[in-house]
Every structure is written in structure tokens, then in C-alpha cells.
Structure 1
Amino acid sequence: MFTMQVTHNVVIIGAGFGGLGMAIRLKAQGEENILMIEKGHDVGGCWRDNTYPGAACDVPSHLYSFSFERHYPWSRRFAPQQEIFSYQQYCARKYDLYRHIRFNTEVADARYQDEDGIWELTLTNGDTLTTRVLITATGQLNQPAYPPLSGIEDFAGAHFHSARWDHDVDLTGKTVAVVGTGASAIQFVPEVAKVAGKVKLFQRSAAHVIAKPDRAYSKLEHQVLSKAPITQTLDRLRIYATNESRALGFTTFQKAMKVYEWLFSRHLKQQIKDPALREKLTPDYPMGCKRILMSNDYYPALAQDHVEVINHGISSVDQRGLTDSTGTHHDADVIIYGTGFKATDFLTPMTITGRDGADLNAVWKDGAEAYLGITVRGFPNLFMLYGPNTNLGHNSIIYMLESQIHYILQCVAEMDEQGIKALEVRDRVQEDFNKKVQDKISNTVWDKGCHSWYKTESGKNTNNWPGFTFDYRRQTRTLDLNDYELLR
């Protein structure tokens, strides 16, 4: 007997790829009492937020799409940000999701009610609602990481993060300081360099950058793809198989990375002729330990006379610019942070309280972990998309999301059909799973002497899946209720 009224059967937090895919499949399963809570003004997640110049995907567009909505007229092999965002809006319209979404809304607190087996959510505006099933689809790349720059409040110019690009700031002729050289920076730095008077790139560690096999699809190709959609499906399979083979280089056959090391070295030598600059741009860690990046214009941009690469940390900021760790001052009109995201801070800043008052942040104080990256002991009826250790370094995250969505659909269906009030993963099941994951990670290239956004400050890799995506799909294909404690 419920003592609290249940306002929704399912609440999904986030309307990026994970949230959209989950809602679409739930509706196909007959579930209509769905509410999606989205902090932004539209669907899209990181593809709505990251509007910086040059933003694009590094997974080919034929694979970076839902399996049930794969035949889409992409303009290029690697889709630009606006096109991916339009695809997400298209999916939301086609599957009638907008009426289920509450925009410009954030969850402050989610609390599990033991007696009723439901979740009570408090929104930042003070509203409350309840749900049988809570699904988080907040992603791993939604909270920008700002560097702790001493004195930044004194800086006279504009300063902003790439994920919160200030399009009102005119960079024409300006001296622009860029802090960070991650996946976003290698895309926007060439665009900034086209208009800025000077670009000063502060690099903590160099990245491995290889050529991007990108091009626009021809008119003939569009005609073939449109009239024979099977060609797009076959290309999708080809891309998947090619990308999946790269997992060997990260995990069990790291000598395979020699091929990519050669590709990187050749790309660097071809585009950077200055030996001193080439040395600055050569990483001091094994390839793959950090994310491998793709760009055709990053190195040529850095080779220009008005672009300077600075291999020193930043000690302070004043009104006129930045002082590096050697004491050298660098004037700047604008500072742009290309410093990535708080990827290991899963589900923050929400407070999530589970059974018997368990605080998820406290449970995860040594690093986030979950069974299959989806369920957590002590938090019944809570399911995560793109949770701990489900990120990839070699293939499309949408493939992983669809594996998780399929698994969660089974959980929801069993709860409905069997009258299950609470479904909670067993302690030993979660413990055994994560021990295997961490054991595998310890033998991967990600654990070979670098610090990346894959890891917590203590060095635990909480983000990556240490193997093949088809193996993850095998493990999530069929729900085994014996893995869970059930309260009917």
C-alpha cells in the first residue's frame, strides 16, 4: 500500500542521447507516464551546450546515431555539432517526446522512500514529485571543469569555458589565451586563430593527434544512401567493426598501438616543420593513455607565426593577462578554457539518498562504481545511463547507451509484470563485477603512467569500459533477476 501518491511511473533526468533513447524505447513498450527533466532550454545535452566554433563529432555520423533511426541525411562523414543537435531535435519530434519534457528544470534532491518503494524528487524551484523508477541520463561530460586560476576575478577581459561559449565576444584582432589542449581545444583553436591577432595556447601536456578522415558526402552518395538505405546500414557495420578492433590496442594487445603511434608521428612531422615546436607537441606518455584526438587543421594552426604554444603552468592572473610558472607575463584580451569536464563527478551536484539514508556521494567517496554501470547497491529502482565505467575510447557511446537502455527496459517490464516494488542489486554481484572491471583496467594502456579525465584524483579509473562493446552488450542482453534482491 502506497502512503505517497506516485505522480509518474518513470522519471528520466537529462534529455541528451541517453534520455531521448530511453524515452523512445519506453514509449514503444507502452509506457506513457514518463517525465523527462532537463536543465537546458531544449534537448541535446552536450550537443546543445557545446556551440564553440569548429565543434564536431570524432565518431563517424553513420555510427553516431540510434540503431532505430539510422537513415538520416548526414552532410559529412563526421557530423558538425549543429547537425547532431538537429538530429536529436528531429528524434524528439518524431517520437513525440517534447510533451514529456520539463525544460529549464533541475533536480536538487532525490530521496528513496523505503516504505513505499518510490523516489521523491525535489526540484531547484521547490517543486516535488514522485516516481516508481528513476533513470539518470546526465552523461559524463555535462559539468565544465574550470581551472583554479589565482586572480581570475581581477582579469579585465572576457573569460569563458568552451562549453559555455560567449558568442557576444568578438575575437577579431584580439590576443586570446587558451588554457588546455583537450578534445574541444583542438577543434576551436584553429577557428580562433583565423580571426585573433594572437593566440597563446597554455598546454599542460601534449595530446596525440592523428588525421581525421573527414569529407562531405557527394550528391551521388546522398542519392545512393537515400534510395538504398541498406548502404548506410552496411557502412555503419563497417565503421563499427573497424573501430571495435581498436579496443585490442587499449587492452589485451597494446603492441597494436604501434600503428597509431606511427600515424601520429607521421601526422606531426608532416604538419609541424619546426623541431622545437614539434618537441613541445610530442606527448611524454603512451599513446591511448589519454584520449586520442583527430584533426586536420590543429597542427597547421599552431605552426602559424601569431600562435604560440606555452608549455608552462599558470601561476596567476592579473588585470592584463596571465603569469606562467616561470614568472613570464603574457598579455591577453580574452581567456578561453579548453579544460574539459568534471567527468568523474557522477550525478553531482544532485543529492541522491537511497535506502536507510545512504548518501550516494558518501558511498562513492573512493570513486563511483555500479553493476554494469547501471545499478548501485543501496539505491533500489535507480538506473543510470552512461554510468561508471561505460565510457569508450574507441567506438560510439550510442551503442553502449542502447545496450543499457535494453537492460533497463527489461527491469521496468519485470517490475510491472511481477508486481515488484523494489529491485536492488546484490552486494556481492556489484562487488564481483567491479573487481573484474578494475583488474582489467590495471592491464590497459589507461593505467600506464598518465593522469586523465578517466581517473579520479586518487587514480581510480571510474569512466572507461575495459574491453569490447559487443562483450558489454552480451552482459546486458538478458536481465538475471537472481542478481537482484526483490521486494514484491
Structure 2
Amino acid sequence: MSAARRSAGPSAAGHRAAPARGVLPNHAPESGASESDVLPNHAPEGGQDPATPALAPDHEVLVIGAGFAGIGTAIALQKAGVTDFLVVDEQDDVGGSWHANRYPGIAVDITSFSYSFAFEPYPHWSRAFPPGAELKAYADHCVDTYGLRARLRTGARVTRADWDETAHLWRVRFAGGATLTARFVVCATGWLTKPKTPDLPGLDRFRGPVVHTARWDPRVETAGRRVGVIGTGASAVQLVPRLAPEAARLDVFQRTPIWVFPKPDVPIPRVVRRVFAAAPWTQRSISRATDAVTELSFVLAMIHYRRFPFLVRAGEAVSRLYLRRQVRGDRDLVRRLTPRYRLGCKRPSFGSGYWRAFTRPNVELVTESVTEVTESGVRTADGVHHDLDVLVLATGFHVLDNLPPFPTHGTGGRDLREFWRTERFQTYEGTAVKGYPNLWFIVGPYSFTGGSWFGMIDYQLTHILRVIGEARRRGATEAAVRPARHDRSFRRTLRRQGDTVFLDPSCRGTNSYYLDEHGDAPAVRPASTRTAGRRARTFDLDDYRFRRAGDDRADLL
């Protein structure tokens, strides 16, 4: 009988739980303290602590990251009866990007009905596209509703993870020297965690404030000042309309224009919110509808681009029409703001007033490349010096080049980053990697389907919990995806990738984080969320090899 039909989820049967090890403080280290003061150091470098049994790690599951991916993982583990887990995050609170990013105008760019857990609808959204503070509040709501604070450690930055082939566990090190061991590790660190600072000569010489959108300093004063914004991605689309009315002058330095669509952001009346609270099924119904629209528009248009190219062209036509209505009568400005690449090569955005902001007399779009930053401004390739008081970097994040976000060594001590760089980004079903047992990525190569972020989290957790459940059922301490099955999955992904818009010649040179140096598009899984979910529910569990530490048998039945 196929193992895919033997187990549907975790069970306590056949699993010997690790002994309790006490509760760690649920806060970042206080001033003067290091992580080593608040995290147990059971497994010092150089070998396993003799007092720690091989089959009793500090925790059965370690979840790295306390954004929505990590929060969802913790809730799913708890619901499945896996209680010995710990969630760690380098920041001082939960929420991930929604805790770190606080620039003016920050908001979600997908409707709140889709950007939430299906099992935990939130009736308190004030708008269809709520501001960032409400997303942070929703993260807190989920953590508190499901009682996760006691299993959460903030201020704990992972610096390295090593697979112990003998004990079948991961040794995870933290800044400050502490080490935790875990049977299974779920990497839920997300994409938007490491801000990208442009390599511009003289950036450190600028005398005024320099602030990245991902590390916004509310003390920086922009009203009545000359402000420069470098970058025209999704963050700039939200930030520029907020800065334009208040800045004495705003120069926006554009390298690549962005496709923008009108943002149907409307307030949600209180009476509607009361209906959502009293009858959650009403909100779920809307969520299913918005999910379907998002899936159809992205999957059909971009994932199946070669079969439906007219959908991409139609989307481009809508965006161009919106641009002409926002920027009336200025053909040169329209030309400079119009992308020269196919819709989908780079992440598009929804905007309210972004393009219109460039029609203001105090706002200038600069398309000449930046050559240097001086003490008092920015110089561009045409020799013009732009005098500035404040410089804002809306230059995005390291995405693919930050995977994994810390050195990770699997079987034979091979570094995962080296493996991906030399042999291309590849995964089994978007979550596991051959040679790295008991490790899964919520957001890794070929995981995001382009629809709802929460839909991706859901299907990834379905996959992970099935494997952990099967390992428990078999009494296994190692679950390793079989290399042949891994390679077959990767080949299937590459074949489907050929139909996507990402391989269109116009995508080359767009500096899109969807693409890597190999010409692949590993940031997006070429499948619908529904297809990925079906695969997560039905893949053959015998695609994994299950073993027990100290047992010479190749597989456990």
C-alpha cells in the first residue's frame, strides 16, 4: 500500500516525547545580556552533550521565524497534537515584515480577505487593503488567540544550523553562542527580511539622514525638506504619494518602471464588520471569491502565459489606461513611467495616487542612473546634481540571494547555499531539499504560487505535517526526501516553468527578484495554489526515506 494512504497527519502513536526542559523567557535579551543568557546551551560546539540522549533533543520542532509563516506553523503543530515546539525570531516582537516595516503609507497589496488565515477570519479590518499596523495587530491576535507566547522566543538570531547524522537532529546556533537541538526544523523566515542597500559610491558621505523603507526611523523629518527616493518598486508606490504633498521637493530616482493597477481600497463600514464578527461565514465567502480572482488573474496570465498571452497584454492595457488617466497631457512622463517588459516579469503593484504624484510641481521623476552620492545630494549620469536633505532607500530586499538566511549544513556537511548556487535552486514540492533531512521551508525556491501568501502557508504545512506525522507513526527520527524523487519533482517544475511569462526575453535585465543568475524563476512555483494544495495532500510519503537513529535498516515500515 502506498504510504500516501497510510497517514494523514501527526499522531502521538509510536512517538516518544522529549522530556520537558523548562520554559525560556519570552522576550528579547535585556540590555547587556546575550542570547546565550536566555537560551539553553545543551549541545556545545564539538559534539553532543553526554547528558543529552540521542533521541531527546531540546525540542521536537524548531520553527525559525515569527511572521505569519511561523505563526501559522505553530498553530498547525498545536492543532495536530505536536506540543514540543519552539518558535524563535531575531526581531523583538512577532509579525515579521509587518513588525519591521513601518514607513508612511505601508499597507498590504492584496485584499485583507485573502491576506489572512482561512481558519481565523479577522472581522476588524478597517479597509479592503488595510494599513500595516492592522496586519501587525492581526499577527498579535493570532498569537494570543492560540496561546503561543509561551512557545515564542524573540531576540534570538540564528547564525548556523548543522545536521547531526548520528543523532538525527539539527544543532541550531544563535548569536551569543547558545545552541538548541531539534528533531525537525521549519524555516519560516520569509522573503522580506534582509534590506538591500544599493552599492553607490559615497553613500556613507551623505550628511543628511539616510533611511531604508524596511528600517524606517519615525524621527526623520521629511515635511518641508528636499527628499530623494531611490527605487520605484512596491514600497515606493506606497511611500511616494505620502511624501509628495509634504516635501518641499521630491526627486524619485527610477531604474526600472513598475506596472501599477488601480487600488480598489474602500473602507469597511462598521455594520459590515459587525456582520463579519457575528457570522464569520460571510467573510469566508468573500475570501473565497477574492482568492479565486487572484488565482485566475495570476495563474492563467503569468503561469500559463504561453497558452494565454492575450491575458498579459490585456493586463498591460488596463495598466496603461490607468497611467494615462493619472498623468493627463504629459506624453513624455507617460513614456518614462511605462515599463518595457511584459507584465509579470517583476512584481506589479496596486497604487492610489503613485503616478499622479509625478504631476505635482514639486515632484520630479529622474530616469538617469545614479552615479554617486555626495555630502549634499545625488549626482546622476547626465552630470546633474540633485540637492537633498533626506535620502530614502526604497530598494527592496535580498530575496533569492538570502536563501537560506543563515549557513545550513546537511548530510556530509554540505552547505545549502553552496548547493543552490552551484546546482541551481531546487526543491521537492517547493519545501524539502535532498541531503537535508528533517528540514522544510515555508518560503523557499518554487514555493510561492503567486496568489495568496496564506494559501502557500497552508499547503506547505499540509506537506510538512504529513511527513512529521508519518515519522511519528513509524517511530523514525529521520525523514529524508529520496534524491530520485526530489530530482523528478524538480524536472517537472522546470518543464512547467517554460510556460511562464518569467522566461520571456523581455524579462532579462529587469533586476527582478523572481529570477536568478541561472535564468530560472525559483521565486514562484509554476502551479496554482489549488494544484499545489492537492499535491501536498496526495504526494506519496514513500518519496521520503524514514530511519531511526542507531538502526541499520535503510527504511522503517
Q: TM-score range by the shorter chain?
A: over 0.9
CA contact under 8 A between 1:346 and 1:368: conserved in structure 2?
no
Q: Distance in 2 between matches of 1:78 and 1:323?
A: 37
In structure 2, give the amino acid aligned to 1:206: P
2:244 paired with 1:184: no
2:219 corresponds, among 168, 174, 188, to: 168
DSSP 3-state at the match of 2:397: coil
CA contact under 8 A between 1:208 and 1:292: conserved in structure 2?
yes
2:176 paired with 1:125: yes
In structure 2, give the amino acid aligned to 1:413: G
2:423 paired with 1:385: no
Query: Per-residue deviation at 1:428?
Result: 1.7
DSSP 3-state at the match of 1:69: coil
Describe the superposition over 1:313-354 as per-residue Cα deviations: whole angstroms up to 9, x where unpaired: 111111011111222211111111111111102444411111
CA contact under 8 A between 1:346 and 1:387: conserved in structure 2?
no
Query: Per-residue deviation at 1:234?
Result: 1.0
Query: Per-residue deviation at 1:219?
Result: 2.8
2:90 paired with 1:90: no
What does residue 263 of structure 1 align with?
318
Q: Distance in 1 between matches of 2:244 and 2:326?
A: 16
Question: Is the alpha carbon distance of 1:372 and 1:458 closer, same or farther for their aligned partners in structure 2, counting shifts above 3 Å?
Answer: same
* Farther-moved stretch of structure 1 (437-446 vs 10-19): 437-446
1:282 corresponds, among 326, 338, 351, to: 338
Q: Distance in 2 between matches of 1:100 and 1:226?
A: 28
What does residue 195 of structure 1 align with?
246
CA contact under 8 A between 1:355 and 1:379: conserved in structure 2?
yes
CA contact under 8 A between 2:345 and 2:514: conserved in structure 1?
no
Q: Distance in 1 between matches of 2:480 and 2:428?
A: 10
* Farther-moved stretch of structure 1 (217-226 vs 38-47): 217-226
What does residue 475 of structure 2 align with?
419
In structure 2, give the amino acid aligned to 1:364: W
Q: Distance in 1 between matches of 2:331 and 2:210?
A: 32
* Farther-moved stretch of structure 1 (39-48 vs 357-366): 357-366
Q: Distance in 2 between matches of 1:142 and 1:369?
A: 21
In structure 2, give the amino acid aligned to 1:350: F
CA contact under 8 A between 1:410 and 1:479: conserved in structure 2?
no
2:542 corresponds, among 460, 465, 482, to: 482
Question: Which structure has the larger Rg over C-alpha atoms?
Answer: 2
In structure 2, give the amino acid aligned to 1:151: G
- % same residue: 34
2:416 corresponds, among 355, 360, 377, to: 360
CA contact under 8 A between 2:209 and 2:391: conserved in structure 1?
yes
Q: Distance in 1 between matches of 2:192 and 2:75?
A: 22
Point out where structure 1 has 5 or more consecutive residues left out of the alignment: none
Q: Distance in 1 between matches of 2:412 and 2:404?
A: 20
TM-score normalised by L of structure 1:
0.97
Describe the superposition over 1:40-78 as per-residue Cα deviations: whole angstroms up to 9, x where unpaired: 011100111111111111111111111110143211111
Q: Distance in 2 between matches of 1:223 and 1:101?
A: 32
1:249 corresponds, among 273, 298, 301, to: 301
In structure 1, give the amino acid aligned to 2:426: E
Query: Per-residue deviation at 1:216?
Result: 0.3
Q: In the TM superposition, what are the counterparts of 1:46-445 in structure 2 within 5 Å?
A: 46-246=97-297, 247-252=299-304, 253-273=308-328, 274-366=330-422, 367-393=424-450, 395-445=451-501
Q: Distance in 2 between matches of 1:349 and 1:29?
A: 28
Q: Distance in 2 between matches of 1:99 and 1:107?
A: 19
In structure 2, give the amino acid aligned to 1:339: T
What does residue 26 of structure 2 align with?
none
Q: Distance in 1 between matches of 2:300 and 2:142?
A: 34
CA contact under 8 A between 2:113 and 2:128: conserved in structure 1?
yes
Describe the superposition over 1:436-469 as per-residue Cα deviations: whole angstroms up to 9, x where unpaired: 2222223211222223111123432120111211
CA contact under 8 A between 1:70 and 1:233: conserved in structure 2?
yes
2:525 paired with 1:465: yes
Point out where structure 2 has 5 or more consecutive residues left out of the alignment: 1-51, 549-557
Aligned length: 487
2:71 corresponds, among 14, 20, 26, to: 20
CA contact under 8 A between 1:176 and 1:334: conserved in structure 2?
yes
DSSP 3-state at the match of 2:357: helix
DSSP 3-state at the match of 2:162: strand
Q: Distance in 2 between matches of 1:90 and 1:16?
A: 12
In structure 1, give the amino acid aligned to 2:436: F
Query: Per-residue deviation at 1:423?
Result: 0.9
Describe the superposition over 1:88-131 as per-residue Cα deviations: whole angstroms up to 9, x where unpaired: 10100111111111111111111000001001111111001101
TM-score normalised by L of structure 2:
0.85
CA contact under 8 A between 2:370 and 2:379: conserved in structure 1?
yes
In structure 2, give the amino acid aligned to 1:152: L
Q: Distance in 1 between matches of 2:281 and 2:119?
A: 13
CA contact under 8 A between 1:184 and 1:338: conserved in structure 2?
yes
Q: Distance in 2 between matches of 1:477 and 1:404?
A: 10
In structure 1, give the amino acid aligned to 2:487: E
Question: Is the alpha carbon distance of 1:168 and 1:71 closer, same or farther for their aligned partners in structure 2, counting shifts above 3 Å?
Answer: closer
DSSP 3-state at the match of 2:437: coil
In structure 1, give the amino acid aligned to 2:209: A
Describe the superposition over 1:5-26 as per-residue Cα deviations: whole angstroms up to 9, x where unpaired: 5111110000011100110111
Give the RMSD, CA atoms, in angstroms.
1.5
